[in-house]
Structure 1
Amino acid sequence: MKNSILITGATGALGGMVTEKLLDNGVEDLAVLVRDPEKATDLKEKGVEIRVGNYEDKESLLAAFKGIDKLYFVSGSEIQNRTPLHLNVVNSAKEAGVKYIVYTSFQRKNETESSPIAAVAESHLKTEKAILESGMNYTLLQHGIYMDLLPAFMGEKVLETGTIYLPAGDAPVSFTLREDMANVAVEVLSGEGYENKEFVINNEEALSFEEIAKILTEITGKNISYHSPSEEEYLQALKNAGVTDEFAGMFAGFAGAFKEGEFTDTYQNIFKITGKKPVSVREFLSRVYSNN
């Protein structure tokens, strides 16, 4: 059977959500790329073809991409080493005859080495360049900041401490729910008219952490304040709490990008593509904290 769509990262949060939504929409010619087929037995039972491979192994990618028309390429999680892995995916897709690639990239303003998230940005920028030069049709979905990570940015014990402690300054940030991003992907993969275009996929609102603290106060009835320390103080606090240097550095980098206004811009592409309004921060926080 020829599979027209292949989803990478199908056992992960975003890829898995996109796969399930495509199945719910009645898409039949569907395959997924997974490292461990044991983790995809539920998908196999639903009629999805399981293709085993990983971004490091080009031969596995060439085999997995055979007969595929559309590839939904979820960016890898190994940030430090993912540029060569991403180029493996793009080059393999082209060699295997994939006609159309949809890539989960990132929203940005600053593309230079001065960006606090330059290490994160590098692989996305090089991957986009490779896709544009490949000759394949493409859609670049430039994702904003995942709203799903907001509790982590605020701190797991925010209701106990009563303080959002993050060196993010006072610039507003546009947070976007992963499910809204998945809904966009499903429409792009199953619809028409999105070829050779770039879309920033983020929310229609941007809120400062001061505003987010006020919303959390209203939802929980607990007085939540916001404090923006220096990056040095923040890193030391995380170190004292036993957080790894890599994890602390990543969160500090994103906080620095928030502070510089990297994610202040808002767009209506989610509504334009899906016809649905994106979930607001207030709605999301109500879901997460209303019973606390």
Structure 2
Amino acid sequence: MSQPTLLVTGAGGHLGRIVVETLLESGAGKVIGTTRDPSKLADLAAKGAEIRAADFDRPETLAAAFKGADRMLLVSTDALDVPGRRLAQHRAAVAAAVAAGVGHIAYLSAPAPYPTAEPSLIGDHFWTEQAVVASGADFTLLRDHIYTDYLLFGLPHAIATGTLYTATGTGGRNYVLRADCARTAAAVLARATGQSVLDVTGPAPVTQNELAALASEISGRPVAHVALPAEAMKQGLAAAGLPPGMVEGLVAFDVAAAEGFHAITTSVVKDWTGREPGSVQDFLTANAAALKAA
């Protein structure tokens, strides 16, 4: 049998790039990577990927970009600046995939998505999943839990100030490395059959109290976790200058964690990659210098 043609959207992003590289290394089939600016992915083209231009804000570009693909990984975009923009992008991509005859759509979602009254990060994931399921194609919904990598954005400040503020209460989060998610997505794109939903998690949930203790141990500086009500967390993030869509998404994730939706553990990473997922402790230890940089 001939190998399938595999397409990865958002190939210029941190995760998409790893997926493309993993597929090329494994020889899983012809690999297409789409991006707004193909000139920025000349290195992937040199490794054997076909790079095509695709602008999710211009749906008319997607038919040519997806032509000939048998299987597609739809990487969720970061278009949170305008309410409803990201969902429109995703729906256009799913429609174009169907029109192009894509037989299997894998979508990078989030844990426990649900509909919201107003456009939101988590609501976008819910409605995109619905669009994928309704597409008629086989599908895999990859519900990636929060990336361990994101700890490098907020934890250095917490170490510098001695306080880690969250709205997670005592709930645990099963942080997972972006690279583990990318390798899992690559394997799913190459091999998954039928219709399934997979929660992609790290090895074990970590509470924010435990995270603060780890940060203290690794940095040598005292860090305390302070649990805030959701509204107070929103106000703090907004005062720090974060855009409204990002504030809403971060606090919604905190609340979901407080309610227990981020504390599950699965074997998905090992099942698909053959490797155990990396732990928070190992990641923070490896990035000790960055943690103390603030």
Q: Could you tell me the TM-score, scaled by structure 2's length?
A: 0.89
Checking the alignment, whether the CA contact within 8 Å between 2:120 and 2:249 is kept in structure 1 is: no
Cα separation, 1, equivalents of 2:89 and 2:242: 27
* Gap change, CA 1:112 and 1:27, over 3 Å in 2: closer
Identity over aligned pairs, percent: 31
Whichever residue aligns with residue 144 of structure 1, its letter is: H
* Gap change, CA 1:118 and 1:281, over 3 Å in 2: farther
Q: 1:119 — aligned with what?
A: 120
Residue 180 of structure 1 deviates from its aligned partner by 0.6
Q: Give 1:83's match in structure 2, choosing from 49, 63, 87.
A: 87
Cα separation, 2, equivalents of 1:240 and 1:124: 26
Q: 2:25 — aligned with what?
A: 24
Checking the alignment, whether the CA contact within 8 Å between 2:63 and 2:100 is kept in structure 1 is: yes
**Deviations 1:238-289 (CA, angstroms, capped at 9, x unpaired):** 4444444444343333222222222121211111222211001111111122
Q: 1:160 — aligned with what?
A: 160
Whichever residue aligns with residue 111 of structure 1, its letter is: Y
* Gap change, CA 1:139 and 1:245, over 3 Å in 2: closer
Q: 2:111 — aligned with what?
A: 107
Q: 1:228 — aligned with what?
A: 227
Report how many residues are paired: 286
Matched, 1:38 2:42: no
Matched, 1:98 2:102: yes
SS in 1 for 2:106: strand
Checking the alignment, whether the CA contact within 8 Å between 2:38 and 2:51 is kept in structure 1 is: yes
Checking the alignment, whether the CA contact within 8 Å between 1:153 and 1:166 is kept in structure 2 is: no
Residue 63 of structure 1 deviates from its aligned partner by 0.7
Residue 28 of structure 1 deviates from its aligned partner by 5.1
SS in 1 for 2:143: strand
Matched, 1:184 2:184: yes
- 1:137-156 matches, cutoff 5 A: 137-154=138-155, 156=156
SS in 1 for 2:120: helix
Q: Which moved more, 1:133-142 or 1:145-154?
A: 145-154
Cα separation, 2, equivalents of 1:153 and 1:261: 22
**Deviations 1:36-69 (CA, angstroms, capped at 9, x unpaired):** 1121111122222111111222221111111111
Cα separation, 2, equivalents of 1:210 and 1:222: 15
Checking the alignment, whether the CA contact within 8 Å between 2:138 and 2:193 is kept in structure 1 is: no
Whichever residue aligns with residue 134 of structure 1, its letter is: S
Cα separation, 1, equivalents of 2:175 and 2:59: 35
Structure 1 residue ranges without an equivalent (≥5): none
Cα separation, 2, equivalents of 1:101 and 1:89: 10
Cα separation, 1, equivalents of 2:242 and 2:179: 28
* Gap change, CA 1:220 and 1:4, over 3 Å in 2: same
Q: Could you tell me the TM-score, scaled by structure 1's length?
A: 0.89
Cα separation, 2, equivalents of 1:40 and 1:3: 22
Checking the alignment, whether the CA contact within 8 Å between 1:219 and 1:290 is kept in structure 2 is: no
Q: 2:74 — aligned with what?
A: 73
RMSD: 2.3
Q: 1:256 — aligned with what?
A: 255
